[in-house]
Structure 1
């Protein structure tokens, strides 16, 4: 399949688009009440559509000055490997680059799904262990 006739919209995904793409890539089910608040607090996002249907998304969270986190880059499995993910990540990185004013610096983080590390390495993301280790915890109520 060739990727043609897609449109990348510079906007945060809707709750339903986010849920659809999240679940389509196998990240499990999502609590839409929680995701609604998360989406509202995003700095920037893009949604890729084909025939007005969502086929990909990505967004940025952070302080919009020095620290940025790329979140929820998801492409429908039938559209993976066609360059759409690259287009989405490029849009996200361009947003961040525009905020590096006066020779400023931006720290950009992300978590890659298993097996997708090489995709992000093409954009300059690297595993910095053993000197630096990415860590996180999940807090549930």
Structure 2
């Protein structure tokens, strides 16, 4: 990841989310009218900034106790391949490890191009259609 990129623990705004989602081809994947409420219902979020511009995002949804789902992890195409997605994912997984009181289930749905990233972080198909990873709590 380049030194110019800063990661912040916050959700993207609706406008930031839409800009990133559309840039990676997810134009039809969302009901844009409900996105503000969906974002508000998130457990945690991370954004990557280059100056004042949000160039990457990721968030967690779920019950915040046992089940967590990585949602909307996206990086602008011109910023892909330099570790931003990896850094965002790791920060989300760190949030799970620091929040869960016992082993947590972390699920996600990924595009074909993102599967290598998730596999590098321990996600597998298991006997399910989606992918998951068990995250142990961080030691105190």
In the superposition, the TM-score normalised over structure 1's length comes to 0.87
**Is the 2:60–2:71 Cα contact (8 Å) retained in structure 1?**
yes
Matches within 5 A, 1:1-141: 3-29=2-28, 30-101=30-101, 104-128=102-126, 131-134=127-130
Q: CA RMSD in A?
A: 1.6
**Is the 2:64–2:100 Cα contact (8 Å) retained in structure 1?**
no
Per-residue Cα deviation, 1:58-94 (whole angstroms, up to 9, x for no partner): 0000000000000000000000000011100010000
Structure whose alpha-carbon radius of gyration is higher: 1
Q: Which consecutive unaligned segments of at least 5 residues does structure 2 have?
A: 132-140
The number of residues matched between the two structures is 130
C-alpha displacement of 1:16: 0.4
Bigger share in strand = 2
**Is the 1:3–1:79 Cα contact (8 Å) retained in structure 2?**
no
Task: Name the SS of the counterpart of 1:72 in structure 2.
Answer: strand
**Is the 1:12–1:44 Cα contact (8 Å) retained in structure 2?**
yes
Task: Name the SS of the counterpart of 2:112 in structure 1.
Answer: coil
Task: Name the SS of the counterpart of 1:7 in structure 2.
Answer: strand
Distance 1:134 1:85 in 2: 19
Task: Name the SS of the counterpart of 1:34 in structure 2.
Answer: helix
**Is the 2:41–2:61 Cα contact (8 Å) retained in structure 1?**
yes
In the superposition, the TM-score normalised over structure 2's length comes to 0.87
**Is the 2:57–2:73 Cα contact (8 Å) retained in structure 1?**
yes
Task: Name the SS of the counterpart of 1:16 in structure 2.
Answer: helix
The list of structure 1 runs, each at least 4 consecutive aligned residues, that deviate by more than 4 angstroms after superposition, is none
